[in-house]
Amino acid sequence: MINSNSRIETTILNNLIHNEEYTRKVIPFLKADYFQDFSEKTIFLGVNQYVEKYKSVPDIEALTIDIQKITQTEDQHKTVQEYLSTRFVSFSKVDEQWLLDETEKFCKDKAIYNAILDGIHIIDGKSKDQTPEVIPSILTDALAVSFDSNVGHDYMEQAEERFDYYHEVEDKIPFDLDFFNKITKGGLPPKTLNVCLAGTGVGKSLFMCHVAASALLQNKNVLYISLEMAEKKIAERIDANLMNISMEDLHDLPRRMFDSRMEKLQKKTEGKFIIKEYPTASAHCGHFRALHNELLLKKQFRPDIIFIDYINICASSRFKFGSNVNSYTYIKGIAEEMRGLAVELNVLLVSATQTTRQGFVSTDIGLEDTSESFGLPATADLMFALISTEELESLNQMLVKQLKNRYNDPTANKRFIIGVDRGKMKLYDVSQKAQNDLVDTGQTDATNLEDRFSDFKI
């Protein structure tokens, strides 16, 4: 006898058999695991297999034959056949929107229920290939279950919507460096992965610390994750930058002056800055997601921007290092997981990567000089190289070269110079004279709108 809790399951299955329009809408979101009753699960499997193969709903006769192939014993087949013949003889149509809403609720409830059971299974040590760190990810996936009714953008009918999109002011975190704002059209948006490429000691961490300090002064919440340097070492660089004092002088600063500068800094910004250190190659996006949730719970801290120093020494949540996985797949996997995390948490993510040995001595670094995996630049939204030479070092300058840019034309301002104050961990704009013979603006001279768009033809 089927209990009252199975009524929605019966309604769903009945409509899967008799209502083709409904079936096409919901079949991608339904799973066999959502049906606990053996007969219901078997009927769903039969319907699902038929729809996948023939792209239409099965009639009762075809479904009966398919179910006979799925069931393993005569008793099982008899049980399912009896359920099918008694429950689905008649069909009465119900309000479609109500049915879609109830089906979506059913899927969400079952996904969460199954996720909780999986979590208990993992905690009890009954899972061989999963650890408790993946539990937040499992629950997040379950909570994200929803029906997406969007079937695509209608180019003609949604032209007005597209025009509004072109004129939306996108939420971005701007740089305090002029040329970086130019190449990104005003800063970096959330849900993106942005990567700095440089050789050892050139300035990857310096760049990230400077941008982190700048974001803090813009009242943004900053989370800095380090897998290479101690938390206090990162904080030391941020202090030098924000207090405008060299790291050497920082250690000689009297307590009274230090407290005074910190007090002034606290009045300047409403943002918070959290630094978290993990052992090298020990943490992956599952740990970072758990940290994000823990900070939200314990400190009511939700980051606007996350720095990961740096991406190559993270672990992958999907691949085990050294288990017949090459470096291309492994690092690409990490990059994909990090970008997925940025989208999931709706944050801006900034990281860095090393150059190859050849790239370390090159004065014209390219994407091919990315160490370990070319899959990283394939995943990143923005990627640029920091290049240093003896001549540039003597001038306290650094060359920036765009390698990949989804925000703007990468050939515009492809190379430019920025100033470096390594003692204070600061970057700054240099005079236009320093940019001569380097910057390819790639911009049109036409400033009048009519002139700029006069060559439009259909």
What total of structural domains would you count in the chain?
Answer: 2
Domain boundary among the residues 50, 74, 94 is at 94
The residue-averaged pLDDT of 431-443 equals 64
Average pLDDT score over the chain = 85
pLDDT of residue 450: 59
Position 142 in a domain: no
In 3D, which of 347, 387, 381 has the Cα closest to residue 364? 387
- What's the mean pLDDT in 286-292? 92
Q: Is pLDDT larger for residue 442 or for residue 217?
A: 217
210 and 82 in one domain? no
How far CA 185 is from CA of 174, 219, 368, 412, in Å, comes to 9, 20, 26, 11
In a domain, 108, yes or no: no
Q: Same structural domain for residues 327 and 205?
A: yes
Instruction: Print the domain residue range for 204.
Output: 178-440
Residue 232 lies in a domain: yes
pTM above 0.75, yes or no: no
pLDDT of residue 261: 92
Q: Is residue 251 part of a domain?
A: yes
Residue 23: give its domain's CATH number: 1.10.860
User: Does a structural domain hold residue 109?
Assistant: no
Averaged over 235-258, what is the pLDDT?
A: 92
Q: What does the pLDDT look like over 117-140, one tens digit per residue?
A: 988 988 888 887 778 877 877 887
What was the pLDDT predicted at 444?
Answer: 44
- Indicate the residue among 45, 64, 94 that finishes a domain: 94
Q: Per the omega criterion (within 30 degrees of 0), is the bond before 113 cis?
A: no
In-domain check, residue 67: yes
Same domain, 90 and 198: no
With 90 as the cut, is the pLDDT of residue 364 above it? no
In a domain, 127, yes or no: no
Average pLDDT over residues 190-210: 91
CA distance 51 to 54: 5
Q: What is the pLDDT of residue 449?
A: 56
> Does the residue 121 lie in any domain?
no
Q: Which among 94, 129, 156 is the end of a domain? A: 94
CB-CB contact of 346 with 159 (8 Å) = no
394 pLDDT above the threshold of 50: yes
State the pLDDT at residue 362: 65
